Amino acid sequence: MRLIFLGPPGAGKGTQAARLAGICQIPHISTGDILRTHVSQQTDLGQKAKAYMDSGELVPDQLILDMVVHRLEESDAQDGWILDGFPRNVSQADFVENVVLNAESNSEEMSQKDLRVINLDVPDEILVQRLLARGRQDDHEETIRRRLQVYREQTAPLIDYYHERQQLHSVDGNRSMDEVTEALKTVVSV
């Protein structure tokens, strides 16, 4: 099973992706988490990415794509994965379609059709409340506003992108965590 979690910051992608990964026994791959590890370990990538993350901008594709390829090559990712926070713009989505899925579809069990994309839908005012309550380092009001703007400009177009490919499943994320998880289990048929 291969899943992509779309949705604005604060929609609950991380929480729900982790739950579903446990249920489906596949890795939860969060590009934000990987980047935060690089920042805290002060790797070369972490040092390059930090300023973008602190200001709510996307980290440049050239830094992200290598990092994702590297992670997907690990042994636990060979039978499926949940991507959380990637792709984040159309060129990253093209990369998934042209590079990641083509490489993997050599194996018979996995074909392009297996990809499901989940859009967690949550109204803006709820997102801001949730993000302010979360208190992560990049959860300041100004950065939050910029992250939501970046989401609308660069990531939201992926809703149409995957809708056109008939891979999109929208789930109402403005419910209790358990209700959202139940809805997601229906989408992935477990």
Q: Is position 65 an interface residue for ligand AMP (rule: CB under 6 A)?
A: no
Element (H, E) at 84: strand 81-84
Q: Which active-site residues does the annotation give?
A: 13, 88, 134, 136, 147
Site map (CB under 6 A) of ligand AMP, residues 71-90, x = contact = --------------xx-x--
- Going from the C-alpha of 85 to that of each of 97, 106, 107, 190, the distances in angstroms are 16, 25, 25, 23
Q: Is position 64 an interface residue for ligand AMP (rule: CB under 6 A)?
A: yes
Report, in Å, the least distance between residue 85 CB and ligand AMP.
3
Report, in Å, the least distance between residue 183 CB and ligand AMP.
21
Asked if 132 and 9 count as a contact pair (C-beta separation under 8 A), the reply is no
Cα 39 to Cα 26: distance, rounded to the nearest angstrom: 25
Closest CA to 183 of 171, 169, 174: 171
Taking CB under 6 A as the criterion, the residue among 31, 95, 117, 162 binding ligand AMP is: 31
Footprint of ligand AMP (CB under 6 A): 9, 31-32, 35, 52-53, 56-59, 64, 85-86, 88, 92, 147
